[in-house]
Structure 1
């Protein structure tokens, strides 16, 4: 997508009124109407046959809540804490790369929206806006780290994030290399000239594409930049290096969650990368209860990522034992639909839906949600 296409996308998005969206499906449709097909595929697609991508939603839909009645819910609150910091909603915006693909302000607009909503914004190593500009918005910013081939560069990025005022480090542990994302390969997807990885020296341009055959420039670039030698010793080195809370994102096995806690990790994100890495991996919602059980009594929070599309999904995650959730694609849809106002609308919808679900389930606060029983349908 060239700069002309980006300008056309922005012009079309200007006609979408975020206030008219009544649910995230409305936001997704509005985004689809303004984004070029290859960008829609980059955001929406998964790896392989996309079985895990589809399974994430199916797994959440199987969770049935058992509401309680005759409880005073006249003063429901959605406020809680994540990593010890107060939040207005048990939610953080997940790290998503290259957000200037969908709006000229990119991550800057999304971070401002997160700050206004009182939830953390997780900035990607592959952000198209530098971390310093994002923390300057006043939002609670967490820095997501991909382990690079030169470990010293990874630690330098962490130091940079600390100096900028980031509140946590989120190490992604499920990307030794990028999964085979067939939509991007068929599209021979590459970044336009105006979008770059602000924290790295180079980015996945068309120079990373082979002259023949289907290939994703992003996959070629990440294979060259990311280390496939990330191990528990790397986690230990990072834990020793940073004073910030450390989160591991991409944990599905209970054994790995326990090992993370033993390494001094402050939280794990139960995630299959939104169905974008190992196709056939267990849905995050199905893996969540076992991870929660394994970490019982340990000082390690559990968050859920992958497939969250409503306030009811947030309540489902909490009932299954999560402390909160990460939301990725919906924030991009909001950004495409209306920039900062679009992301604000996404977060407002999730807050409204979650508050509604919380009260209807007989829960006056977030802690009560963790006491709800669930039934697996089908």
Structure 2
């Protein structure tokens, strides 16, 4: 497999693409089968992957009419910053496998559209290069780094210091993936990283290798999970950086309460896009329960299945401060490079404004649970 998904790197909006979801079919044609399996697939039977999307569709908007919405806006406050809108790019690894623009293209697109970005620790571009490309953009959204705790704490501290020095504004600690999910689609496609694509930010950091299995032993429980992070590690991490730390991958109310007790800066309600534990609950189901658990103690973000501006409005009405968009933007990256990513963000923002206006919401604060109904309930 080569480093490029095709012989040429497309940089034009494909004909007929008028919604974020339209990029999926284009990307499927342009990505090789293994890369497509990696970016599009989920764990096992992909039940959670499908249900994430279905859960947003199952919620209906009950709009109000004749309200004053002139002069409305999509602004919000998040971690001490005023953001133009509640859209951030979720962390996705190895983006140069989708398009040569890679993570720098996505970051520049986000900056151009005033959106935030969470850079994957497993990015195929150095974190410093991504930061240099966008930090001087006056209207950009926040730039955060996603982190996995490393086996040796010294290596985690080194990554934190690099992030601080490069100008990242928060750390997003992924807590729901102590091991990878059973990704059948990738295995069927024979997925492996192409030549020239690596997790460059982890160069020099030893990665765990599976020990040989023996009778009566478990490679997972007896070896790989011996250094899996715990709440003690989260507490340790909070003392190692001056940056705010958010936890990504929280679905249970008790975990949300424990995180709030540790005074993390925020939570991302996430099931890893259905890529880890199949049949895990959907994020649209979990979000309001976590809102009830933590009250207003800390800001909540959500990802998983966001495809339309109406989804964003529903997420805000359920209690999210902002949303992370994943697959739609990497499909757009594969289809049209940085221009495609910017296009997806613009489409979602425009759709959000339309949905707000048609629902009688002048601001995001007007989107409350009373806006939503579950017609099957």
TM-score under structure 2 normalisation? 0.90
Say whether the 8 Å CA contact 1:93–1:327 is kept in structure 2.
yes
- Correspondent of 2:375 among 363, 374, 377: 377
How far residue 203 of structure 1 moved from its aligned partner, in angstroms, is 10
1:313 matched residue in structure 2? 311
1:105 CA displacement: 2.0
Matched with 2:214 is: none
Q: 1:20 deviation in Å?
A: 4.7
Say if 1:123 and 1:144, in contact at 8 Å, map to a contact too: yes
Q: Counterpart of 1:277?
A: 276
CA distances 1:336-362 after superposition (whole Å, capped 9, x unpaired): 111110100000000110010011110
Give the C-alpha shift of residue 227 in structure 1: 7.2
SS of the residue 1:199 aligns to = helix
Deviations 1:44-95 (A, max 9, x none): 1000111111111111111112212221112221121222212221121000
Which of the numbers 100, 114, 131 marks the counterpart of 2:96? 100
The count of corresponding residues between Structure 1 and Structure 2 is 360
Alignment of 1:284-303 (within 5 A): 284-298=283-297, 300-303=298-301
Compare 151-160 and 226-235 and name the one that shifted more: 226-235
Q: Indicate the SS of the match to 2:319.
A: coil
Shift of 1:326: 0.6
Query: What displacement does 1:39 show?
Result: 1.0
CA drift of 1:108 comes to 0.3
Return the alpha-carbon distance in structure 2 between the equivalents of residues 42 and 99 of structure 1: 11
Q: Is the 8 A contact 1:65 1:374 kept in 2?
A: yes
Unaligned runs of 5+ in 2: 211-218
* Deviation string, structure 1 residues 108-167 (Cα, Å, up to 9, x no partner): 000001111111111111001111111112253101001111122112111110110001
Structure 1, unpaired ranges of 5+? 210-219
Change in 2 beyond 3 A, CA 1:224/1:353: farther
Residue aligning to 2:188 = 186
Matched, 1:109 2:108: no
| Cα contact 1:196–1:203 (8 A) shared by 2 | no
Corresponding residue SS for 1:367? helix
Q: Is the 8 A contact 1:38 1:189 kept in 2?
A: yes
Q: Distance in 2 between matches of 1:132 and 1:202?
A: 16
Instruction: Verify the 8 A CA contact 1:197 1:203 in the aligned structure 2.
Output: no
**TM-score, normalised relative to structure 1:** 0.90
Q: Give, in angstroms, the shift of residue 224 of structure 1.
A: 9.5
Q: Which has the higher contact order (CA 8 A, sep 6+)?
A: 2
**Pick aligned residue for 1:123 from 108, 119, 126:** 119
- Residues 213-255 of structure 1: CA deviation (Å, up to 9, x unaligned): xxxxxxx9xx999975201111111111111111000000011
- Structure 2 CA distance, aligned partners of 1:124 and 1:226? 22
Q: How many Å separate the matches in 2 of 1:18 and 1:370?
A: 36
Task: Tell whether the 8 Å contact from 2:37 to 2:191 is kept in structure 1 after alignment.
Answer: no
Kept in 1: contact 2:33–2:189 (CA 8 A): no
Aligned CA-pair RMSD: 2.4
CA distance in 2, matches of 1:347, 1:202: 35
